[in-house]
Amino acid sequence: MTGDTAAMLDARADFQGAGHFAPIADAVAQAFRSAHPAGYTPSAARQFDTQGNARPQGTPTLPNGTASPGSSASPGSTASPGSTASPGSTASPGSTASPGSSVSPDRPASSADTGPLGGAVLEIGAGTGYYLAEVLEAHPGLNGIALDVAKPAARRAARAHPRLASVLADAWRGLPIRDDALAGVLSVFAPRNPGEVARVLAPGGRFVVVTPTPRHLGELIEPLGMVRVDPDKERRLDDALSGTFTRIDHAVVEFPMKLSRGDVTNVVAMGPSAFHTTAADDPRIAGLADITEVTASVTVARYAPVG
């Protein structure tokens, strides 16, 4: 696997930087806001010092309530926040997204969904690091690890946030993270390795998965010949995670975006359709109106390991 190209990441950074997917990023941050189930505290996760040695339970942590930055990854596989390393190779139920968007939860809000979160969160297939950076902004007690198989992504993600370190690795060949080390794992439009995710999550940890619905970018799919979303994608995801994870809840985040031709060019160039077309030279984009209203529609789902 080679992952996304530098050109794809440039297009994605431009699109995300324009704020078009901000409601999705808000929903992802809210999904990590929920309190952990009874029995979990950040100290329940294994903690390690800067040399990778196990810390006794109750060892004082940093002032923000977390262990040393980068302490959740395997020895030799982490980098200092803001640097890269190559290790050998939902919306909260009942919450709302940004104005103009709709969030459809599958269970009512709970007063328990407000607990602080500490420790580290890993994003698999982090790309630009945009979503993980938003999670860290919303949770001052968290540190982040951005994992991607593409070198341009690892370099870019390392600069996404001061409390974020970047690791170059292929998730399908194993996550370079200690057992039971993470408060959460995030996957946004990215591949997943359920067994490895379950292994690295601490007791009570959460796996947050964002997938597009069939309505996502629907106004562009036919006119531009973009890759369609499998209408059975959600069921296939649950089947793939069954036996390893149980879905706790999910929310559909859907909202309209007003996109210029430049925005449309970026949205084509930043995703899987980039492998099938050269967006900058596509006459079909030139034939669009100056501004096109396009639907963004994703499912933000939270999962817990079985048992």
Domains of the chain by range and CATH? 6-305 (3.40.50.150)
Helix, strand or coil, per DSSP, at residue 119? strand
What is the pLDDT at residue 221?
85
What are 242-268's pLDDT values in tens digits? 889 999 999 999 999 999 999 999 999
Segment 225-241 mean pLDDT: 75
Q: Given a cut of 80, is residue 49 above it in pLDDT?
A: no
Half-sphere exposure at residue 171, Cβ-oriented, CA atoms within 13 angstroms: 25
Confidence of residue 279 (pLDDT cuts 50, 70, 90): low
At 78 the pLDDT is 37
pLDDT class for 102, splitting at 50, 70, 90?
low
Mean pLDDT of 6-31: 95
Judge whether residue 114 has pLDDT over 70.
no
In the structure, what pLDDT confidence band is assigned to residue 111 with cuts at 50, 70 and 90? Answer: very low
For the whole model, what pTM was predicted? 0.74
Average of pLDDT values for 97-120?
A: 49
Amino acid letter, 197: V
Q: What is the DSSP string of 147-175?
A: EES-HHHHHHHTTS-TTEEEEE--GGG--
